[in-house]
Amino acid sequence: MTKRVCVIPGDDASPEAVLPALAVVKGLELDIDWLVLPTGEEGQAQHGEDWAQVCRDAIDSCDTTWFGSASGKTPAIAHLRWGKGTYANIRPVKYMPGAKSPLSHPEGIDFVIVRENMEDMYSGIEGDLEALQGLGLVNRQTKQSIPASGKFAIKVITEANTRRIVEYGCELAMRRKAAGYPGRLTVSSKYNVLPGTDGYFRSLAQEVAAGYPDIEYENFIADDFARRIVAEPHRLDVVVLPNLYGDIFSDEASALVGGLGVAASGCYGDDYAYFESVHGTAPDIAGQHVINPTATMLSAAMMLRHLEFEEGAAALEKAIEDVYREGKALTPDQGGSAHSEDFCDAVRGKL
């Protein structure tokens, strides 16, 4: 059955990765009907106040969305994430020989970050401390009342979302174990300083993981884990993190295997999934056509797999790996001098 894919090129440098990558994926000639939206700026100019609704309608009319990155001009991200309930942000961290790593032995790094995608510090509840006066809140360390002036942000950890994301991680670890990976689940949070929220996340995670006796479970305090990502990445398999740590640690982890230019991701819910690179819109290099399209293309490979085009996904991944191994058409972030389009042409050549 024909699949329908919404392509949202995004803002700043993002379309310079998405559009040539789209041409490569179209070249696979899969049974896909593409609905390609304009860039953020073009969409605002063409649709004015209706632009957000145009994006939402396009997303709703498709089986999945391939999303560039947005800096405000493209309004779709809230609908894709909270509107569609895409609670599991899956971010593979896998080294491809030829990619630029600061490690002397990056070969064999191959783990997956499972980031909770709905809550934590992303609930957007912030305000003036003044509004909290009179609630009897005190500083846990000093027992003094909170200052009268300043700001606060609320961290939200719910039982349902925590259980769901840890279960997702456990199921993924089981599937990977069946394919020869160690079957290890690593969970991290700042549970010592935030026992009420991060400690809650930790104890729920432990409880859920106990239901998977074939999976080895381990837990680290977030600052210790930040060091372990760099010091012992080879032993990681599946890593489950609350939203904010997941965001920060996946940028850190990407640095081990080539940086943001190669970091792909997919966001999965019960009824919908969308795919986007880990990086933002790279505004500092917009217009130069040097943004690395690898992350965008590897996200497309995840999308093709989700749509059950397994052969197309594997062919695309192999072609990208071949271009890296050859090392002739890499973008500046990987130490090369190729433009985004040159890299895409090289991938098309391998296909």
- Does position 281 interact with ligand ATP (CB under 6 A)? The reply is yes
Site string for ligand ATP, 62-81 (x = CB under 6 A): -------x------------
Output the smallest distance, CB 295 to ligand ATP, in A: 5
- Which of 37, 96, 170, 295: binder of ligand ATP (CB under 6 A)? 295
Beta carbon nearer to ligand ATP, 295 or 303: 295
- Which of 280, 341, 348, 350: binder of ligand ATP (CB under 6 A)? 280
Output the smallest distance, CB 240 to ligand ATP, in A: 20
Instruction: Give the dihedral of Cα atoms 251, 231, 239, 316; nearest 10 deg.
Output: 60
Q: How far is CA 131 from CA 120, 125, 128, 147, in A?
A: 21, 12, 6, 11
Beta carbon nearer to ligand ATP, 162 or 250: 250
In angstroms, the CA 190 to CA 103 distance is: 27
What is the distance between the terminal CA atoms of the chain, rounded to a whole angstrom? Answer: 24
Beta carbon nearer to ligand ATP, 209 or 229: 229
Site residues for ligand ATP, window 236-265 (CB under 6 A)?
A: 260-261
Q: How far is CA 110 from CA 113, 255, 256, 260, 317, in A?
A: 10, 13, 11, 16, 14
Beta carbon nearer to ligand ATP, 237 or 333: 333
Binding segment for ligand ATP (CB under 6 A), chosen from 102-110, 163-171, 218-226, 283-291, is 283-291
Q: Which residue's entry shows tokens 């993190």?
A: 241
Site residues for ligand ATP, window 12-51 (CB under 6 A)?
A: 17
Size of the site for ligand ATP (CB under 6 A): 14
- Does position 292 interact with ligand ATP (CB under 6 A)? The reply is yes
Show the 3-state SS of 279-318.
Answer: CCCCHHHCCCCCCCCHHHHHHHHHHHHHCCCHHHHHHHHH
- Does position 117 interact with ligand ATP (CB under 6 A)? The reply is no
Q: Two tokens at 24? A: 């490569």
Give the three-class secondary structure for 117: coil
Output the smallest distance, CB 285 to ligand ATP, in A: 5
Residue 128: name the closest of 103, 152, 104 by CA. Answer: 152
Please classify residue 335 by burial: count the beta carbons closer than 10 Å to its beta carbon, then call 0-12 exposed, 13-18 middle and 19+ buried: exposed
Query: What is the number of residues in the chain?
Result: 351
- Which of 58, 109, 282, 323: binder of ligand ATP (CB under 6 A)? 282
Residues at the interface with ligand ATP (CB under 6 A): 17, 69, 260-261, 279-282, 284-285, 291-292, 295, 333
